Structure 1
Amino acid sequence: MSWPVSMQPEAMRTSIEEGDWSSGICDCCNDMKQCCFAFWCCPCFACITTREFGQCLCLPLLDIFGCIPPITMSMRTSVRRRYGIKGSLCRDCLCSTCCLPCVWCQMSTEMKKRTLPTVLSDIISR
């Protein structure tokens, strides 16, 4: 005898705690070497940062063709999602449109601070 199913299983819900950016949008001067590189050669800096994030090296060059830089905005959104950072698509769009080098510096800084250093004992134990 089979009983009718009266309740379907629910999807597992996980609570992901969202945090803030480790640096502000105007904190790019904290690392002067990075700041100068981003301001004087933003396309090169953006390509390198994109590659370090694991995306295509030349992807940021597509930003040249629009008034709202779609790649910068989508990269900022991806960085936020990967690291659980609070924000919105609207804010990503606004920041990416108004201060391109600052956004790339902020993303680069975030990736550097969130990357865990490789420890020799971890490599040996594998």
Structure 2
Amino acid sequence: MKDGFAHFDRRLERLEDRRAALEEGSRLELDDTGLMKLMPSGTRRRQIGRAMPVRAMLIIAGVLLTFKGFLLYQLGFAKYSAKVAAMADGDMMDRLGAKVMQIEPVTLWVYNAISFIVG
């Protein structure tokens, strides 16, 4: 009797594991008899785990670089550099912000594109 419960518990664990795997992504496959079966593919875990953070980081970096270019265009080189230098003299977060807000080639490219478009 006790062995029967252990077998039943193992079967329940396998079913729960399969259900969790199917929730992560599944595909339909035909077996030899023509019966369609749901097979776990794990694609949802791969999509969420890999593609989304990379895409999100690229979007954030693009927005930040565009913002820096607009800010540089609006303030001008002298005032922008003075503000970044003032941030570099502050506490740890200000120094980190100064590192991020430094003028680099992509910011200059955005600045040149904006000044070309605006005139």
Q: TM tier, shorter chain?
A: under 0.3
* Higher Rg of the two aligned structures: 2
Instruction: State the TM-score, normalizing by the size of structure 1.
Output: 0.25
Bigger relative contact order (CA 8 A; separation at least 6)? 1
